[in-house]
């Protein structure tokens, strides 16, 4: 969807781009969702997430804006194997399905 502006699930052609996805931090402060922070106090967010959402079916894809930032921080404990291990624990689409089920439950569907 990022390159084609066409939904890979339903073929919809209206795709909403969110250059940042909101998260909540300490004190309920709005922050952009990121993979990691480089330090506790004066650090900066690494791997900020952007989203593409199909306006017809709600399917969403997430991307890291600057993936090279993550490679630069391998000395902080991020290894090349860690992302692969994380992917094995969370199969593609499982998070979206859980969110969709939660949304449907709220709607009484």
**Residues making contact with Zn ion (CB under 5 A):** 7, 9-10, 12, 54, 56-57, 59
Q: How far is the CB of 10 from Zn ion (least distance, A)?
A: 3
Nearer to Zn ion, 31 or 56 (CB): 56
Question: CB within 8 A of 53, min separation 6: which ones?
Answer: 15, 16, 18, 59, 60
Nearer to Zn ion, 3 or 89 (CB): 3
* DSSP per-residue letters across 13-29: --EEEESS-EEE-GGG-
Nearer to Zn ion, 73 or 100 (CB): 100
Q: How far is the CB of 2 from Zn ion (least distance, A)?
A: 14
């Amino acid at each position: 969807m990022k390159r084609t502006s066409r939904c890979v699930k339903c073929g919809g052609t209206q795709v909403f781009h969110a250059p940042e996805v909101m998260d909540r931090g300490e004190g309920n402060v709005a922050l952009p969702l990121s993979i990691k922070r480089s330090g506790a106090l004066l650090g900066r967010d690494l791997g900020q997430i952007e989203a593409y959402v199909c306006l017809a079916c709600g399917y969403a894809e997430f991307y890291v804006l600057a993936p090279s930032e993550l490679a630069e921080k391998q000395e902080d404990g991020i290894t090349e194997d860690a992302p692969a291990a994380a992917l094995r624990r969370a199969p593609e689409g499982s998070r979206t399905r859980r969110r969709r089920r939660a949304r449907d439950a709220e709607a009484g569907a």
